[in-house]
Amino acid sequence: MRNTLSRNSTIPTTTTLNTNTNTNTDNHNNNNNRTLRLSSPQPSLKRFGLCSPIVFPERRGAKLKASSTDDHAIDTSKDFEHRIHIGGRGIPAPGDEKSDLLGYVVFSGKLALDKRKLTTVNNNKNNSAASQQTSSDTTINQQAVDAKLTSKALVWGSHLLNLDDVISVSYNVGLRHFTVHSYPFKKPSCGFSCFIKSQRTRKDFRFVASNFQEAVQWVAGFADQQCFVNCLPHPLVSSKKQASSELLPTDTPPELLFRCKTPPKMLVILNPRSGRGRSSKVFHGIVEPIFKLAGFRLEVVKTTSAGHAKTIASTVDISTCPDGIICVGGDGIINEVLNGLLSRDNQKEGISIPIGIIPAGSDNSLVWTVLGVRDPVSAAMAIVKGGLTATDVFAVEWIQTNKVHFGLTVSYYGFVSDVLELSEKYQKRYGPLRYFVAGFLKFLCLPQYSYEVEYLPASKTERGGNLSVESEVVDMSDLYTNIMNRSNKDGLPRASSLSSIDSIMTPSRMSGGDLDTCTSTHASTEPSELVRGLDPKSKRLSSGRVNVTAEPEVIHPQLPLSTTPNWPRTRSKSRNDKGWSGLTTTHDTSRWGNTAANDREDISSTLSDPGPIWDAEPKWDGEANWDVENPIELPGPPDDAAVGSTKEVVPRFGDKWIVSKGHFVGILICNHACRTVQSSQVVAPKAEYDDNTLDLILVHGSGRLKLLRFFLLLQMGRHLSLPYVEYVKVKSVRIKPGKHTHNGCGIDGELFPLTGQVISSLLQEQCRLIGRSSI
């Protein structure tokens, strides 16, 4: 029978498709894993320091996270120091200078590094080696040096091994030897150090302690520092030839018995197509050995098609992966898993599952930006080391269909989404170069993109996260009921990943662009019920308009924005204006796969389309049939949408929604800074993954010149200085495409049709990534 709490006395296993249950037998109920803080019914999650499955204890800011890590180390070692004193080993004086730098001393004594070629101690075939070791023990004893294990490092002689680089320790019961498995950074040779980045490579150190008891104490010290201990039987006991020997120690020493960590149990969802098919190699060749060393029990599922990861995440029995789901691939596969988890029947359960990321795709902006990790080895180590980083999630809701798709990185409209759609065509032929090819082609025949954008700027207090405290106690079942019911379970096929905005284009020629923008400001309609349901702050802001006192913060108000609550009278155009979708518009939805759903969307779009934007003022909620077919409860004046009445919407003074309409080269709504792995580009430099706001970048106007300048300056990180680029932190954004605008909406690499209007809004810290930020 499977015992998930049993201790890890056997070699951890990885299974494909079927979880291979270990033969763990020892009772692990007394495991004193120091990350366990609560008596929640999900013991394995405690490994990550969760206080509750819903409200995240890991709070904002890399600085805070870093310090909390240190605090934790100090606390645990303090406890352990006490026990070591009882054990009688010498502990350096508390005032020891090195103790400050290296944390608290956990154990000290003599250690010799056994430099003989490492024999795999747990390999039965090598049992004879174990007996031969005795002969050379004397020599090794002579080489023993002073050593000390602290809460941060192992120091012996003049050598130091950072515990952050240690994966696990292997120990054979009854021996003086133990092996420390690590992945320290390997510096490139001097001549090339400027050109080659240092990389982590595996290094095993085999130490010999003064005696068997000390060896156990060294190993116990590692266990207390959250290193996985792979405790194996005495090599001679496991030998068939000498199995009869009864004199050899077989039982795990009690010092180790209760200190070993529970081996984490996770599901790996691997996209075999990611990174041009290299992801399997990356996982099995590089990452899996690390997880094995760390005792992880993994079930590996390879996706067979787009959407498969979402299905798995939405249906998987969570007891088979209580410690989380590891995504191997790019940002797209993570997005699928996120959406799968958030669409589970048991929403709380879905939200509580943390996501680990092994970057193996074309672009892995999320893990690079949030955790500061961009190579698979470091990512695996971050997962092994544990900890959780809570991140905001944004939800994009299709107003007319109530479908919702969640994202962690960015949603985008205009040129970028068009390029990504086009790049799909060239996937096989050009691989990652397809973005460049598609970008170049799109640049040559650049259309005009027209949108009506309405956004609710975030106030300064919200940006600082001061209001977040209140929202922490929101009952997630209430919060999610609506949105989950509406979430897009059908899914839509992807077109491509956002991947590298930087790789999109290097245009060969330019032509002048025009600036045809129409920015207006007014107090507009409320966010939908969904938006208010999602975001308690928005809800408060919406329902209690008088509370909205803080000034909206427009970081880069390049264009004149006024909060005058008047309906601006813009130039009038007929309903047949070709710039906007009208009754005769038909959309080719076949490419989106979910034809039925999109047919519906198209119809409702047609029905509700008010005609040209210039005709009247904001149409978000003032369309015919809108309320009948898609009743979205708005807390505003009740008669706004009275049947047969003119669709004049009463302005809401308190909310300070700002409308900007006209041509846009592109619109980006970022949840974090969106660093690209391939270059130093940072798309939204002020964005934080946990600041409870979205960063809206509006690239106003149209034309190649504007586009080119934007992308060129983006390379230099100066794109926000352009006069036609507007950058503002927002709570919520509504976007409605104009007629003949290529209606694509990209979300973390998934492309969707933008039929009708969509609302992007924020779910504060509702996803947890496994690992702590190293930034």
Ligand X SMILES: Nc1ncnc2c1ncn2[C@@H]1O[C@H](COP(=O)(O)OP(=O)(O)OP(=O)(O)O)[C@@H](O)[C@H]1O
Closest CA to 299 of 269, 322, 276, 329: 269
Q: Show Cβ contacts of residue 543 under 8 Å, excluding neighbours closer than 6 positions.
A: 532, 635
The reply to whether 332 sits near ligand X by the rule CB under 6 A is yes
For ligand X, the closer CB: 275 or 513: 275
How do beta strands 14-16 and 297-302 pair?
parallel
Per-residue string for binding with ligand X, 21-50, x by CB under 6 A? ------------------------------
Find out whether 172 and 235 touch, Cβ atoms under 8 Å.
Answer: yes
Per-residue string for binding with ligand X, 278-307, x by CB under 6 A? -------------------------xxxx-
The reply to whether 329 sits near ligand X by the rule CB under 6 A is yes
| Cα separation, 440 vs 434, whole angstroms | 10
Please pick, from the candidates 264, 330, 536, 662, the single residue that binds ligand X as defined by CB under 6 A.
Answer: 330
For ligand X, the closer CB: 306 or 674: 306
Find out whether 151 and 74 touch, Cβ atoms under 8 Å.
Answer: yes
CB of 273 to ligand X, least distance (A): 5
For ligand X, the closer CB: 71 or 490: 490
Active site residue: 114, 165, 331, 690, which one? Answer: 331
CB of 260 to ligand X, least distance (A): 34
Q: Which residues of 371-380 are buried (b: 16+ CB within 10 A; e: fewer)?
A: bbbbbbbbbb
- Cβ atoms < 10 Å from Cβ of 19: 18
For ligand X, the closer CB: 610 or 746: 746
Q: Show Cβ contacts of residue 426 under 8 Å, excluding neighbours closer than 6 positions.
A: 433, 434, 437, 438
The reply to whether 361 sits near ligand X by the rule CB under 6 A is yes
Give me 152's structure tokens. Answer: 């941060």
Please pick, from the candidates 214, 224, 363, 688, the single residue that binds ligand X as defined by CB under 6 A.
Answer: 363
How do beta strands 758-770 and 166-172 pair?
unpaired
CB of 280 to ligand X, least distance (A): 11
Size of the site for ligand X (CB under 6 A): 26
Closest CA to 307 of 405, 428, 418: 405
DSSP structure class, residue 373: -
Q: Which residue has the CB atom at the shortest distance from ligand X?
A: 330
CB of 769 to ligand X, least distance (A): 16
| Cα separation, 103 vs 641, whole angstroms | 65
Which one of 132-140, 267-275, 636-644, 718-726 is the stretch in contact with ligand X (CB under 6 A)? 267-275
Per-residue string for binding with ligand X, 733-772, x by CB under 6 A? ----------------xx----------------------
The reply to whether 362 sits near ligand X by the rule CB under 6 A is yes
Please pick, from the candidates 499, 520, 732, 741, the single residue that binds ligand X as defined by CB under 6 A.
Answer: 499
The reply to whether 503 sits near ligand X by the rule CB under 6 A is no
| Cα separation, 769 vs 365, whole angstroms | 13
Amino acid at 684: A
Please pick, from the candidates 224, 323, 331, 421, the single residue that binds ligand X as defined by CB under 6 A.
Answer: 331
The reply to whether 273 sits near ligand X by the rule CB under 6 A is yes
Count helices and strands in the chain by DSSP H and E runs: 25, 27
The reply to whether 272 sits near ligand X by the rule CB under 6 A is yes
| Cα separation, 755 vs 309, whole angstroms | 25
User: Residue 765: what are its φ and ψ, rounded to 5°?
Assistant: 45, 50
| Cα separation, 673 vs 325, whole angstroms | 24
Partnered with residue 456 across adjacent β-strands are 732
How do beta strands 105-113 and 203-209 pair?
antiparallel
For ligand X, the closer CB: 259 or 302: 302
Please pick, from the candidates 274, 400, 417, 760, the single residue that binds ligand X as defined by CB under 6 A.
Answer: 274
CB of 333 to ligand X, least distance (A): 3
Which one of 50-58, 357-365, 463-471, 671-679 is the stretch in contact with ligand X (CB under 6 A)? 357-365
Residues in the chain: 775
Please pick, from the candidates 226, 497, 608, 760, the single residue that binds ligand X as defined by CB under 6 A.
Answer: 497
Residue 172: CA atoms inside 13 Å, Cβ hemisphere, count? 22
Axis-axis angle for helices 434-444, 415-423 (nearest 10): 130
For ligand X, the closer CB: 331 or 601: 331
Q: What share of the chain is helix, strand, coil (3-state, %, to 5)?
A: 30, 20, 45
Partnered with residue 668 across adjacent β-strands are 412, 697
The reply to whether 496 sits near ligand X by the rule CB under 6 A is yes
Closest CA to 446 of 170, 168, 708, 621: 708
Per-residue string for binding with ligand X, 646-665, x by CB under 6 A? --------------------
For ligand X, the closer CB: 506 or 678: 678
CB of 504 to ligand X, least distance (A): 12
Which one of 25-33, 323-331, 508-516, 761-769 is the stretch in contact with ligand X (CB under 6 A)? 323-331
For ligand X, the closer CB: 102 or 745: 745
Told to judge if 70 belongs to the known catalytic residues of this protein, a careful annotator would answer no
Please pick, from the candidates 165, 288, 336, 421, the single residue that binds ligand X as defined by CB under 6 A.
Answer: 336
For ligand X, the closer CB: 9 or 362: 362
CB of 117 to ligand X, least distance (A): 39
| Cα separation, 110 vs 230, whole angstroms | 22
| Cα separation, 109 vs 406, whole angstroms | 53
Distances (CA, A) of 215 to 94, 178, 208, 276: 24, 7, 7, 46
For ligand X, the closer CB: 491 or 703: 491
| Cα separation, 356 vs 767, whole angstroms | 11
Which one of 34-42, 188-196, 337-345, 493-501 is the stretch in contact with ligand X (CB under 6 A)? 493-501
For ligand X, the closer CB: 166 or 438: 438
CB of 434 to ligand X, least distance (A): 8
CB of 362 to ligand X, least distance (A): 3
For ligand X, the closer CB: 46 or 494: 494
Which one of 21-29, 223-231, 358-366, 727-735 is the stretch in contact with ligand X (CB under 6 A)? 358-366
Please pick, from the candidates 12, 253, 275, 579, the single residue that binds ligand X as defined by CB under 6 A.
Answer: 275
Which one of 151-159, 324-332, 600-608, 713-721 is the stretch in contact with ligand X (CB under 6 A)? 324-332
- Tell me the DSSP string of 299-312: EEEE--STTHHHHH
User: Residue 767: what are its φ and ψ, rounded to 5°?
Assistant: -140, 145
Closest CA to 335 of 536, 529, 496: 496
CB of 359 to ligand X, least distance (A): 9
Find out whether 264 and 298 touch, Cβ atoms under 8 Å.
Answer: no
- Cβ atoms < 10 Å from Cβ of 566: 12
CB of 361 to ligand X, least distance (A): 3
Q: Which residues contact ligand X by CB under 6 A?
A: 271-275, 303-306, 308-309, 329-333, 336, 361-363, 494, 496-497, 499, 749-750
Catalytic residues: 331
